[in-house]
């Protein structure tokens, strides 16, 4: 089961690197960062824009652990999109960390033998008799839809225009459905995940757009296609209208 525990995986070396990147070699700035770490914990430093700049541009940034790098990139992308909830950032970062391993994105659990290549293929699992499996399938539907539509929007848009595939709206609907169903499952209450899944369902479009920014900037920065431009303009118009 994927949990919102990315920050819990950060250790002493991560904290030390954060302090160095935020202080940028200034002794006074380092003292201030260390004092903030002691008084307020690591979260305020993780939110510092200088940390993201350091991770992406400084030589020391190359030494960051994957949990640190992933959380900071996701957290700042979500904040830019207007999502300031730390547990949401924690959970989205966990999805990226898990799904980046082998074929985990196509499995509902780490050691499950079955694989699912499409969102629709999960349909039979959502209401199955095995409560644990149905819960995992529901959460996976939300996770998988966010992974695909968040990090690979260009692929989805190209398939839509060239082969008549589903658009990003379909992935949003399916992702919201998965998270809603997961929130309604009794196991969500047992594990304290119902509020998180409900929030992910409600804010799925915002999470998707935030991850699109990560994909455009970091994963596929040199793509200049009509599909990307149309998607960016459409999303920008949508958010302007809703704000």
pLDDT tens digit string along 197-240? Answer: 999 999 999 999 999 999 999 999 999 998 899 899 999 888 77
Residue-wise pLDDT tens digits, 136-158: 999 999 999 999 999 999 999 98
Residue-wise pLDDT tens digits, 53-98: 999 999 999 999 999 999 999 999 999 999 999 999 999 999 999 9
> In the chain, pLDDT over 70 holds for what percent of residues?
100
Q: What is the mean pLDDT of residues 7-25?
A: 95
Confidence of residue 12 (pLDDT cuts 50, 70, 90): very high
Who contacts 73 (Cβ-Cβ below 8 Å, separation ≥6)? Answer: 52, 55, 214, 218
> What pTM value is reported for the model?
0.94
Task: Out of 25-29, 48-52, 232-236, give the one with best mean pLDDT.
Answer: 48-52
> Do residues 19 and 34 lie in contact, with contact meaning Cβ atoms separated by under 8 Å?
yes
Reading the block at residue 213, the tokens are 């920014």
State yes or no: pLDDT of 243 exceeds 70.
Answer: no
Q: What angle do CA 192, 149, 86 make, to 5 degrees?
A: 35
Using alpha carbons, list the distances in angstroms from residue 189 to 22, 46, 86, 196. Answer: 38, 29, 20, 10
State yes or no: pLDDT of 117 exceeds 80.
Answer: yes
pLDDT, residue 164, reads 83
> Do residues 115 and 143 lie in contact, with contact meaning Cβ atoms separated by under 8 Å?
no
- CA–CA gap between residue 168 and residue 48 (Å, rounded): 31
Reading the block at residue 108, the tokens are 């509902």
């Amino acid at each position: 089961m994927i949990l919102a525990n990315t920050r819990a995986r950060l250790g002493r070396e991560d904290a030390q690197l954060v302090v160095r990147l935020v202080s940028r070699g200034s002794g006074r700035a380092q003292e201030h960062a260390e004092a903030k770490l002691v008084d307020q914990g690591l979260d305020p430093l993780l939110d510092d824009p200088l940390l993201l700049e350091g991770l992406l541009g400084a030589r020391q940034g190359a030494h960051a652990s994957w949990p640190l790098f992933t959380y900071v990139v996701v957290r700042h992308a979500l904040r830019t999109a207007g999502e300031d909830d730390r547990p949401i950032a924690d959970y989205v970062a966990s999805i990226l960390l898990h799904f980046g391993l082998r074929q985990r994105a196509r499995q509902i659990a780490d050691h499950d033998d079955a694989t699912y290549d499409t969102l629709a293929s999960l349909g039979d699992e959502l209401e199955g008799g095995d409560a644990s499996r149905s819960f995992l399938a529901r959460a996976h539907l939300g996770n998988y839809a966010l992974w695909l539509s968040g990090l690979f929007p260009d692929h989805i848009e190209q398939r839509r225009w060239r082969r008549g595939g589903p658009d990003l709206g379909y992935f949003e609907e399916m992702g919201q459905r998965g998270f809603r169903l997961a929130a309604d499952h009794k196991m969500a209450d047992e594990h304290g995940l119902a509020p998180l899944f409900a929030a992910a369902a409600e804010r799925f479009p915002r999470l998707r757009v935030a991850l699109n920014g990560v994909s455009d900037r970091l994963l596929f920065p040199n793509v200049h296609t009509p599909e990307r431009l149309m998607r960016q303009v459409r999303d920008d118009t949508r958010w302007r209208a809703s704000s």
